[in-house]
Amino acid sequence: MAIRAGVGLYLLGRHAEAHGLLGEVTDDGVAVFYDACSLESLGDNAAAGERFEQAARAGYDEVECSLRRVGTIRRDGRLADAEEALKNAPSGSTSRAEYSYQMGCILTEQCNTAAAVESFERAIDMDPHHSRSLFNLALENARHGNDEEAIRLYEQSLSRPPQFLGALLNLGLLYEDSENYDAAEFCFRRVLASDPNHSQARLYLKDIEATSDMYYDEDLAKEELRMQQLLSRPVTDFELTVRSRNCLEGIGVKSLGDLTMVTEMELLSGKNFGETSLVEIREL
């Protein structure tokens, strides 16, 4: 039960909790593999690399474990070693989407962006739901101002677990830039549901809430301005009989705003102001 819960926590992006449940397991390949994935997400590359090796020894897919270990070596700053490890990956590796993804990451580190994009696209051709390849392609599109394509790719990367917090965060920012504030707020809240202490998500959520307040205040200001313009209209703009107009002038009513400050009894007390004039005023 603990293993199943740990894997579920990883898929939900709650990596520290997942590691807490899976970190002591040694004889279950699936558990050890997802613990390695959790450690990788937490930035402990050395420990993650060791756990990927342990997962293969415990019976998990040897090719997948070997390819994922390449990523831990690369993120540990040993790019040449990562490239060498990828070249020496087990037989059958080149037919995996993960192989093309790892190659794309190495090419990105080498500043060969065009070749890296081709590798990520090749990975997606092999596996349309390879979330990390989708993430990297989305990142490249966002860097080049292709926001609509970036949004589509981020959405595709998040269409099934695991949920990468970086993808949610970046997607939320793109939604915010396109003024889709409800969708942006949803993304930032999803991040905080997985990591309540995520400082960036908290900051971005505050910006969204401030923006929502600003738009509300602008609408309110527009309504107040419209009302002020209406109340400032002179009563002479309306079709009134001479008697009614004279009566209003006699009691100092020059605008609709003035009229709202006068009771019907005060109007009727005016000279020559009767029920007929009152009905006429009510219809303004």
CATH code assigned at 127: 1.25.40.10
Across residues 42-46, what is the average pLDDT? Answer: 93
Residues 108 and 245 in one domain: no
Token pair, residue 166, equals 């970086």
Residues 92 and 12 in one domain: yes
Residue after which a domain boundary falls, among 187, 212, 230: 230
Task: Considering only residues 184 and 214, tell me which one the structure prediction assigns the higher pLDDT.
Answer: 184
Name every residue whose Cβ is closer than 8 Å to that of residue 3 and which is 6 or more positions away in sequence. 21, 22, 25, 28, 30, 31
Residue after which a domain boundary falls, among 133, 157, 181: 157
Give the pLDDT of residue 25.
93
Whether 231 has a pLDDT exceeding 80, the answer reads no
Token pair, residue 263, equals 């009771």
The closest alpha carbon to 195, from 12, 67, 52, belongs to: 12
Residue range(s) defining the domain that contains residue 31: 2-157
Quote the CA–CA distance of 117 and 104 in Å, as a whole number: 7
Is 0.85 surpassed by the pTM of this model?
no
Catalogue the long-range contacts made by 108-116 (C-beta closer than 8 Å, 24 or more residues apart): 108/136, 109/74, 109/79, 110/79, 113/140, 116/140
Residues 130 and 46 in one domain: yes
Task: Express each pLDDT in 100-151 by its tens digit.
Answer: 999 999 999 999 999 999 999 999 999 999 999 999 999 999 988 899 999 9
Residues 60 and 183 in one domain: no
Q: What is the CATH number of the domain that holds 255?
A: 1.10.150.20
Residues 84 and 225 in one domain: no
Give the pLDDT of residue 86.
95
Residues 101 and 211 in one domain: no
Residues 31 and 148 in one domain: yes
Give the pLDDT of residue 282.
63
Share of the chain above pLDDT 70, in %: 83
Residues 136 and 46 in one domain: yes
Give the pLDDT of residue 258.
72
If one counts the domains in the chain, the total is 3
Residues 178 and 117 in one domain: no
Residues 195 and 246 in one domain: no
